[in-house]
């Protein structure tokens, strides 16, 4: 089936680049981009037209790190130190997802909030619960959110009796979960919570499962200094945090590591050499007082950086807001670096929140890629003093848009919002 989207098309093909096709035509063949044109070629005149008029057609967003079961605790406990926050909020809240009916209600709403805000691809943590994780995957699938979800593994340093597995349970439940994952657009990813909550035995088993089944891995890395010291205490044979994943076969191509705020040059080199992906979470890093990640430096070194909302360490789900927060965070980093590192520009921030993430799933915004896009109606913004360029409207939309401005969302080639 041939479809055509007409409007002002904006996407970021590479870091710092913005491609704008004013009054452009995006031709889809069975959901896959067949071409983007300023003038519609005659051969495509027979396609089904979606005329979005004066609106902006933007590549949609990819949220590369968030905790689905922390959605109910958004905006709470922000004054607490990390460990109290985990103990008072995170673990008891996540434990609640043993109840699949509760999980169904919360995850349906989460999936809806993600997709209506234009997040069409995610790399997401669930809870320890196999059943609730299936519920989450099902709700994402139904809403049109695609990507990876991981049942979390944790056999130590959780909350015993409340929220922790035995090593055996963790492994057997992971295997049971993997067997039950039959979704078209939502796939499993191996998810040790982080080194301190997983015994060596569990880490070894998870590495083995990932290798045998050809699965990616996601976890946390070097979020704060106390955590880093703790990891080295637990693994005296490791010189750096990353090695605690590496020695169990989990530090490999496409492993997603959230935060990496304090990763030094040597740890960053290990990322680049193994094609490990950084999920930078600007809001969370400031809310929980972790630090300010040196994103510019990582990019200069050729490291693959993506963005995550990291709810509920982050306080907001919409990735357009996470992008502008990321830009502000890079300005803070610039100040901290004595103005030596340039801040992230709007096109750069947008690239990190879109293309850099979409790449993880093997897609982009080029011919041959399944379409992931949002259509933004900026008509209700304040009346400007003069006609604005598409570039200006794009920047303003990133800073100003709200859910209601997103009138249509395309995910994996399908129109899933505003049908």
| Contacts to a copy of itself by CB under 8 A | 71-79, 92-93, 96, 102, 105-106, 109-110, 283, 286-287, 289, 291-292, 315, 324, 327-328, 331-332, 334-336, 343, 345-346, 381-386, 388, 392, 395-400, 402
Find the shortest distance in angstroms from Cβ 308 to a copy of itself. 17
d(CA 394, CA 31): 24
Q: Peptide bond before 69: cis, by omega within 30 degrees of 0? A: no
Which residue's CB is nearer to a copy of itself, number 256 or number 282? 282
Q: 152 or 256: whose CB is closer to a copy of itself? A: 152
CB of 392 to a copy of itself, least distance (A): 6
Nearer residue to a copy of itself within complex by CB, 323 or 370: 323
Percent helix, percent strand, percent coil in the chain, to nearest 5? 40, 25, 35
Distance set, CA 170 to CA 92, 152, 155, 394 (Å): 18, 9, 7, 46
Residue 309 CB, nearest approach to a copy of itself (Å): 14
User: Rounded to the nearest whole angstrom, what is the least distance from the CB of residue 254 to a copy of itself in the complex?
Assistant: 31
Say how far apart CA 283 and CA 348 lie, in whole Å.
17
- Shorter beta-carbon distance to a copy of itself: residue 147 or 349: 349
Shortest Å, Cβ 109 to a copy of itself: 6
| Helix axes 346-353 and 319-336, enclosed angle (nearest 10) | 130
- Give the helix ranges, DSSP H, for 86-129: 91-95, 100-116
**Contact between residue 280 and residue 306 where contact means Cβ atoms under 8 Å apart:** yes
Could you tell me which residues come within 8 angstroms of residue 56 by beta carbon, excluding any fewer than 6 positions away?
7, 8, 10, 375, 376, 378, 390, 393, 394, 397
Alpha-carbon gap, residue 405 to 402, rounded angstroms: 5
Beta-bridge partner residues of 273: none
Residue (17 or 275) nearer to a copy of itself, CB: 17
Q: Report in angstroms how near the CB of residue 381 gets to a copy of itself at its nearest.
A: 8
Residue 240 vs 315, nearer CB to a copy of itself: 315
Q: Minimum Å distance from CB 345 to a copy of itself?
A: 5
Sorted by sequence, the CB contacts under 8 Å of residue 191 that are 6+ apart come out as: 125, 126, 150, 151, 152, 153, 217, 218, 219
Least Å distance, CB 222 to a copy of itself, is 15
CB 306, CB 277: distance < 8 Å: yes
Cβ-based nearer residue to a copy of itself, 6 or 396: 396
Whether residue 279 contacts residue 257, with contact meaning beta carbons closer than 8 Å, is answered with yes
Choose between 250 and 325: whose C-beta lies nearer to a copy of itself: 325
Residue among 59 and 287 whose Cβ is closer to a copy of itself: 287
Beta carbon nearer to a copy of itself, 101 or 212: 101
Question: Minimal distance in Å, beta carbon 154 to a copy of itself?
Answer: 18
Buried b (16+ CB within 10 A) or exposed e, 328-361: bbbeebbeeeeeebebbebbbbbbbbbbbbbebb
Q: Cβ 41 to a copy of itself, closest distance in Å?
A: 34
Continuous segment of H or E residues that includes residue 232: helix 225-234
């Amino acid at each position: 089936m041939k479809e055509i989207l007409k409007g002002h098309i904006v996407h970021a093909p590479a870091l710092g680049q913005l491609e704008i096709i004013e009054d452009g035509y995006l031709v889809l063949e069975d959901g896959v981009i067949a071409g983007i044109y300023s003038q519609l070629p005659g051969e495509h005149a027979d396609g089904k037209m979606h005329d979005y008029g004066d609106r902006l057609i933007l590549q949609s967003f990819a949220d590369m790190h968030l905790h689905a079961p922390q959605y109910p605790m958004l905006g709470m406990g922000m004054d607490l130190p990390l460990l109290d926050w985990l103990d008072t909020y995170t673990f008891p809240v996540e434990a609640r997802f043993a109840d699949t009916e509760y999980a169904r209600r919360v995850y349906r709403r989460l999936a809806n909030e993600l997709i209506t805000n234009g997040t069409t691809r995610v790399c997401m943590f669930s809870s320890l619960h196999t059943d609730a994780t299936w519920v989450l995957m099902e709700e994402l699938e139904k809403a049109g959110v695609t990507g990876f979800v991981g049942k979390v593994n944790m056999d130590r340093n959780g909350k015993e009796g409340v929220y922790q597995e035995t090593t055996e349970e963790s492994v057997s439940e992971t295997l049971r979960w993997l067997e039950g994952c039959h979704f078209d657009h939502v796939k499993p990813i191996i998810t040790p919570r982080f080194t301190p909550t997983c015994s060596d035995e569990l880490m070894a088993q998870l590495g083995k499962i990932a290798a045998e089944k050809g699965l990616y891995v996601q976890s946390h890395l070097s979020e704060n200094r106390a955590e880093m010291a703790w990891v080295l205490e637990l693994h005296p044979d490791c010189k750096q945090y990353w090695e605690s994943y590496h020695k169990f076969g989990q530090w490999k191509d496409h492993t997603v590591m959230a935060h990496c705020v304090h990763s030094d040059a040597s740890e960053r080199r290990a990322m680049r050499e193994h094609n490990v992906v950084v999920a930078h979470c600007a809001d969370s890093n400031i809310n929980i007082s972790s630090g300010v990640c040196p994103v510019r430096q990582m990019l200069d070194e050729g490291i693959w950086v993506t963005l995550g909302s990291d709810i509920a360490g982050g306080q907001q789900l919409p990735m357009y807001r996470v992008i502008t927060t990321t830009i502000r965070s890079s300005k803070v980093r610039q100040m901290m670096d004595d103005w030596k590192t340039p801040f992230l520009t709007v096109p750069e921030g947008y690239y990190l929140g879109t293309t850099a993430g979409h790449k993880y799933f093997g897609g982009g915004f080029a011919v041959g890629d399944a379409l992931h896009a949002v259509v933004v109606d900026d008509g209700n913004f304040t009346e400007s003093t003069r006609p604005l360029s598409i570039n200006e409207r794009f920047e303003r939309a990133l800073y100003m848009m709200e859910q209601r401005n997103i009138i249509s969302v395309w995910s994996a080639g399908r129109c899933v919002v505003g049908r």
